[in-house]
Amino acid sequence: MQTEARVGVVVEGGGQRALNSGHVDGSVRKLAQQQPLHQQSQIGTVSQLLAGGVAGAFSKTCTAPLARLTILFQLQGMHSDVATLRKASIWHEASRIVGEEGFRAFWKGNLVTIAHRLPYSSVLKMIPGLENHRESMGSDLCVHFVAGGLAGITAASATYPLDLVRTRLAAQTNVIYYRGIWHALHTISKEEGVLGLYKGLGATLLGVGPSIAISFSVYETLRSFWKLHRPDDSPVLVSLTCGSLSGIASSTATFPLDLVRRRKQLEGAGGRARVYTTGLFGTFRHIIRNEGLRGLYRGILPEYYKVVPGVGICFMTYETLKKLLADMKTSL
């Protein structure tokens, strides 16, 4: 997943999408690929990067309340009694946030998400193999998968400290330990060492491959079936629908890894004792033993709710900005 914060693996050329946060970026790229090449080349790479970054940031901001609810639900099992968790609901948690923290608290950590977008997208753009061979998808399928996987791993590793900070800021409720991005980065480095900024990275990298495979196969299967039975439908509608469904499928399959990643990111935060003293798979066993299999999917409903509006908002914003930039280039 991840999102948002999930690895945004993008394999250009065949309607592939991303992990974690990546539903939005990947789906927007697929939609853009449905357009004629002369329209795609109206603006340069830098302008495309700018439009994509702003669109992604705007979409993340619009869906930030649901993203924070997802994070809070994912982390509840770490320090809460399991019996009390059964009473939790989206409405109850949203009401608590408004009552105890104020309405603006829905956007805690969102500034980090916005700051994360540009360097993340830049790294993806710099990976060779993502912008070429669009017309030879069949023969270069392996190349696209490998390039997409390397892009996701590189981008996730390079920007991971910001993702960890975003989780810790969003997890703060009534007690504020980290006062902002730079304070969090400095405090974590000082108290937990530089490696503390990379807690949970293993779970993120482990999800790259499954996310690409699931996203690609679901998207292509749905798109082929749709075009076979309704060939005259709008390509934008087809890509938007199939991209959203592939995002939901990928989220469902990789959500347990995302949950473990979030909990690993919070280990030792604010001087608290460690909850999970074993590795990645030991953490899975601990969660299943104490919370059951359902514990691995805590928070998945708000994750589902944000996929469709996130893709739609990002695509509309991207297309609007691209048109404005093209008009500005023409008028100069």
One DSSP character per residue, 215-279 reads HHHHHHHHHHHHHHH-TTS-HHHHHHHHHHHHHHHHHHHHHHHHHHHHHHHHTTGGGPPPS--S-
Pairwise pLDDT comparison (47 vs 37), residue with the higher score: 47
Other beta carbons within 10 angstroms of residue 290's beta carbon come to 11
Question: DSSP 3-state helix, strand, coil percentages of the chain (rounded to 5)?
Answer: 75, 0, 25
- Burial of residue 154, with CB atoms counted within 10 A of its CB: 0-12 exposed, 13-18 middle, 19 or more buried: middle
**Could you write out the DSSP letters of every residue in 203-225?**
HHHHTHHHHHHHHHHHHHHHHHH
Mean pLDDT taken over the chain? 79
Q: Is 21 helix (H, G, I), strand (E, B) or coil?
A: strand
Global pTM reads 0.82
Bridge-partner residues for 21, per DSSP? 3
Model confidence at 4: pLDDT above 50: no
Q: What is the rounded CA–CA span in Å between residue 124 and residue 199? A: 22
pLDDT (tens digit per residue) in 284-304: 999 999 889 999 999 999 999
pLDDT (tens digit per residue) in 38-78: 455 556 777 777 788 888 889 999 999 999 999 999 998 78
Q: Is 3 helix (H, G, I), strand (E, B) or coil?
A: strand
What one-letter code names the amino acid at 175?
V
DSSP single-letter state for residue 106: G
CB-based contacts of 216, cutoff 8 Å, min separation 6:
11, 14, 15, 16, 17, 145, 246
CB-based contacts of 95, cutoff 8 Å, min separation 6:
none
pLDDT (tens digit per residue) in 80-135: 655 555 566 899 999 999 999 999 999 999 999 888 776 666 565 555 444 454 44
Domains in the chain, please, with CATH?
44-130+141-331 (1.50.40.10)
Q: What is the rounded CA–CA span in Å between residue 138 and residue 215? A: 17
Cα distances (angstroms) measured from residue 314 to each of 118, 224, 249, 287, 318:
15, 24, 19, 34, 6
DSSP single-letter state for residue 98: I
What one-letter code names the amino acid at 219?
Y
Residue 170: per-residue pLDDT: 94
Q: What is the rounded CA–CA span in Å between residue 238 and residue 254? A: 24
pLDDT band of residue 282 (cuts 50, 70, 90) is very high
pLDDT band of residue 140 (cuts 50, 70, 90) is low
pLDDT band of residue 26 (cuts 50, 70, 90) is low
pLDDT (tens digit per residue) in 153-194: 888 888 899 999 999 999 998 888 999 999 999 999 999 999
